[in-house]
């Protein structure tokens, strides 16, 4: 599946910058980042944001990625938006839990820029 409107929810601004730079290197897709998952959920529910896909960190203050996925899947207008977990965690338990919560995929955050570009190429037009 190729996506043209990407939302990233991650409390780490450096991770968002890295993601955005890699995305811009491989795609013309529209990109929005949000650092507060509660605010992102509000904007999604109110349809201020209408992404094709959400890349979501797991470990965030206020609301974890798992809590966010649970909330988004309760919303009829949002439940069909694919959510790709984008986390530093490589624990198999988290990958299985993400799938059980309804995430469409799981990416362990790479530290290599070329690897990040390669990963994003599989998702974007």
pLDDT digits (tens, 9 = 90+) for 27-74: 999 999 999 999 999 999 999 999 999 999 999 989 999 999 999 999
Q: Flag whether pLDDT at 1 surpasses 90.
A: no
65-77 pLDDT, tens digit per residue, is 999 999 999 999 9
Sketch out the chain's domains with CATH numbers: 5-121 (3.40.50.2300)
* Average pLDDT, rounded, for the chain: 93
In which band, very low, low, confident or very high, does the pLDDT at 12 lie, cut at 50, 70 and 90? very high
One-character DSSP codes across 22-68: HHHHH---EEEEES-HHHHHHHHHTTS---SEEEE-S--SSS-HHHH
d(CA 81, CA 79): 6
pLDDT of residue 117: 95
On whether the CB atoms of residues 77 and 47 are closer than 8 A, the answer is yes
């Amino acid at each position: 599946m190729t996506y043209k409107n990407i939302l990233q929810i991650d409390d780490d601004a450096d991770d968002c910058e890295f993601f955005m730079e890699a995305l811009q290197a491989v795609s013309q897709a529209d990109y929005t980042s949000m650092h507060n998952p509660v605010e992102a959920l509000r904007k999604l529910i109110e349809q201020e944001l209408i992404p094709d896909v959400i890349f979501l960190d797991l470990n965030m203050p206020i609301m974890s990625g798992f809590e966010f996925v649970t909330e988004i899947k309760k919303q009829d207008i949002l439940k069909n938006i694919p959510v790709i977990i984008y986390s530093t965690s490589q624990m198999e338990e988290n990958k299985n839990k993400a799938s059980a919560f309804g995430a469409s995929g799981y990416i362990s955050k790479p530290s290599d820029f070329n690897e990040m570009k390669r990963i994003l190429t599989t998702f974007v037009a």
